[in-house]
Structure formats: C-alpha cells, structure tokens
Amino acid sequence: MPVEASYLAAFIAGLLGGVHCLGMCGGIVGALTFGINSAPSDGSLPTKEPKKKLYPYVLAYNGGRLTSYTFAGLLMGGISMLASNLPVLHNIQFGLQIFAALFMIALGFYIGGWWAGLRKIEQAGGMIWKRIEPVSRKFIPVKSPFQAFILGTLWGWLPCGLVYTILFWSISTGNAIEGGLLMLSFGLGTLPMLLAMGVFAASLSSFIRKNWVRALAGGIIIAFGVFSLFNISLRLQA
C-alpha cells in the first residue's frame, strides 16, 4: 500500500471512529476544562474561566495525547525496521505485517458496527493503564497548560481498541518514522470530535452515527486491510 494512502486511511479511521473517541476521552476533556476556575481576590465563589482561556488547556491535552501516539508508532515501526534488517527475524516481520493487516480488517468491522471484538483488547490493555492511572492523579487538578500536556501524554495510553489497531498497523510500515507518522495521522483524525465539542460535535456525532456512514468507513478500512494482505502475499511469492 502506498505510504500516502496509509496515512489517509489512518486519518479516516480516526475521524470515523470519533464517536468512540468522544465516549472515551470526551468526559476527560470535559472534566479537564470544567475543573479550571478563576479565584477572585475578594473571596467570592470562583467563576468559570471564559471559554477562550480554556483553549490552551484543551490544545495542550490533545498535544500530549498525540505525542504519546506518535512515540508509540515510532517504537513499533522501529521494532519492525529492526526485524526487517535481521535475516533471522525476516520471516517474523512478515508475520507481524500479516497480523497488522488482519487487525486493520477487524477495525473496519468495528467501525462498521458489525463486530465489537476490539473491546476485549481494550480490557487486556487495562492492565497497563492500572499502572499509569495512579501517576496521572498527581497532576489533578490542572493548573497550567503544561500540566494538561503531561496528562495528555499519560491519557494517551488509555486502553482503546482503535489505538491498538493502528499501532499494530504501524508495524507493517517497517520504518520508525513512517510508523510514527501513521499514528500521528490517526491522532489528527480524532481531533475534530474532541476539539469541536458542543453544537458542532453533536452534529458531527449525529452524522457519523448514520448506518451508511459507518458502513462506508468500515468498508474502506476493510478494503485497505485486504489490499495489504494481497501485497504481502505477492512479496512472499517473489
């Protein structure tokens, strides 16, 4: 699959999987902004910061989240690159690519609403999150955009089937930089739903929830997965 097409597919996966992202991270973003208050010097009850003052916090949080995604992609892509350069691990690298393509197909079924098996993967990832979550509590309540950024980097490791699928997909790139860019593309696709909360987010959510939209998005991702398997089979026969 062309590299540019992979980035586009990852972006679409993030965009069309936005409803799932809103359900998992929307509450976190809401709690992040809701807890930011101004403290008047006259001792009266604090009032909420104007919305424009909340933007740096939301942007910092999502910047941290995308940083974690990109780092994870760099790591997985780097492992794949190492495997491709070692003759002993060459066949294992092909196996990882096949596994990633199958995960891509599973993602298509998940987004299309035809299969919910990725939720089991999220449950497995919860074991890692149990170790990270206590650390994140040390940065609450949020008092600065920097704290929001740190929280974003930690919350970027929340157990999420969508994230895990694209992460496995990054293995197939066989390159650390491309793996990182693939995860970054996915992360950018999730931004509209998390940044445009309110009326616009509700409208976008309503559109994405339409059966034909989910089916179309799922079909596109499945097609990319099948195409990847086809390319891998050609390379194995060569």
Q: What is the pLDDT along the chain (238 residues), one digit of tens a residue?
A: 566 778 888 898 888 776 556 555 655 665 565 555 544 444 434 445 456 777 788 889 889 999 999 999 999 999 888 877 776 666 676 777 788 888 889 888 887 888 877 777 777 767 777 788 788 778 777 888 898 899 889 988 887 878 888 888 888 787 899 999 999 999 999 888 777 654 455 566 667 677 888 788 788 888 888 988 888 888 777 6
Token pair 């959510």 is found at 205
> pTM score, two decimals?
0.78
> What residues contact residue 18 under an 8 Å CB cut-off, 6+ apart?
189, 190, 192, 193, 194, 204, 205, 208
- The two tokens of residue 37 are 């208050």
First to last CA, the chain: 17
> What residues contact residue 91 under an 8 Å CB cut-off, 6+ apart?
none
Angle between helices 90-111 and 211-237 (to 10 degrees): 160
Token pair 């008047």 is found at 40
